[in-house]
Amino acid sequence: MVAQRVRASKVDVLIVAGDVSSDLASLERALGGLRETARQAVFVPGNHDLWCGRDSPSSRARYEEAIPRAARDAGFHPLGAEPVTIDGVAFAGVTGWYDYTLRNPEMDGTFTLDDYRRGAWGRLRWNDKARIVWPGDDGAPLDDAAICDAQVASLERQLAACEAMARAERVRATVVVTHHLAFRELVTSRGELPWDFLNGFMGSARLGDAIRRAPSVRLACAGHTHFRKQATVEGAAGPIRVEVSPVGYPREYARVLGLTLAARVADRVTLLDLDAQPPIM
């Protein structure tokens, strides 16, 4: 269904912002089914793609080795370590991570930083705590803050390379793809329990700070949240259009909203026009 929608839209570049499958074979098969729908395609993994079992490669090994290999085998350009240039446009991206800076501060009297670090409040559990294993260079597992630090640093390095290409007139614009959210404008807060506990794990404002500082960035898109959001934020050289438009789970759109998969895909597969002023969807 997604492939049909993308093919009919005649897009130049297909962007997939993660959360396809924690099974590498399924992930490669799904990307392979999408590859022929566009001239080029880029992929950044989501946290669900990085989930690992006790006897499988670590999340870091999946991110740095296994998933890029699967994406390439499926015909995608993997994002995460270095930018990719397509038709004069640079694509930079990382999964991102969370440092609780996008939490709802109005709930700070209810959810403590220790609650976020544990990924638990009452009966609610954040599954990454049991499924993500990200060792540092010394082999010791990193916490959320350290994973986020490394992801922000990677994005900053990639954007510096994009800016050098822009100054040399090798690219005309940069598009940033993250899985986790980079801007508070993309977060949905309800101001209610236990829902807003999950906002602590939506992403990091530091990702957004890095994006805003890069003059060549025109568009930024993300995944992770299940709410469709659009916003325009002010960047170093003017407005940056940001977008998140997930398909989500059938239980959300079919059982709750009564929508068919076709209707959901038609609403959520979004076209991004880089050349509009400002960029529009």
**Of 2 and 72, which is predicted with more confidence?**
72
**Is residue 163 predicted with pLDDT exceeding 60?**
yes
Confidence of residue 275 (pLDDT cuts 50, 70, 90): confident
Confidence of residue 61 (pLDDT cuts 50, 70, 90): very high
Confidence of residue 281 (pLDDT cuts 50, 70, 90): very low
> Where in the chain are the domains?
2-268
**Is residue 167 predicted with pLDDT exceeding 60?**
yes
pLDDT over 90, % of the chain: 81
pLDDT the model gives residue 280: 47
Dmax over CA atoms of the chain, in Å, equals 54
- For the segment 39-56, the average pLDDT, to the nearest whole number, is 95
Task: Give the integer Cα–Cα distance in Å for 158 and 169.
Answer: 17
pLDDT the model gives residue 82: 98
pLDDT the model gives residue 89: 97
Q: Residues near 94 by Cβ (< 8 Å), separated by ≥ 6? A: 44, 79, 80, 151, 154, 155, 158, 178, 179, 207
pLDDT the model gives residue 253: 87
pLDDT the model gives residue 249: 87
Task: Give the integer Cα–Cα distance in Å for 127 and 5.
Answer: 31
End-to-end C-alpha distance for the chain, whole angstroms: 20
pLDDT the model gives residue 9: 87
* E runs forming strands in 179-251: 217-222, 229-235, 238-244
- For the segment 161-171, the average pLDDT, to the nearest whole number, is 97
Per-residue pLDDT tens over the stretch 222-274: 999 999 999 999 999 999 999 999 998 888 888 878 889 889 988 899 998 88
**Of 75-84, 131-140, 252-261, which range is least confident?**
252-261
**DSSP secondary structure, 101-119, as one string:** TTS-GGGTTTS-HHHHHHT
- For the segment 122-131, the average pLDDT, to the nearest whole number, is 95
Radius of gyration over every alpha carbon of the chain, rounded to an integer in angstroms: 18
**Is residue 104 predicted with pLDDT exceeding 80?**
yes
Peptide bond preceding 215 in cis form (omega within 30 of 0):
no
Confidence of residue 192 (pLDDT cuts 50, 70, 90): confident
Whether pTM > 0.85 for this model: the answer is yes
* E runs forming strands in 157-279: 173-178, 217-222, 229-235, 238-244
Taking alpha carbons only, the member of 251, 231, 253, 235 closest to residue 243 is: 231
Count of beta carbons in the 10 Å neighbourhood of residue 98: 26
Q: Residues near 99 by Cβ (< 8 Å), separated by ≥ 6? A: 144, 145, 148, 204, 206
Domain 2-268 has CATH 3.40.720: no
- For the segment 20-42, the average pLDDT, to the nearest whole number, is 96
**219, 198 contact by CB (below 8 A):** no
Task: Give the integer Cα–Cα distance in Å for 181 and 203.
Answer: 5
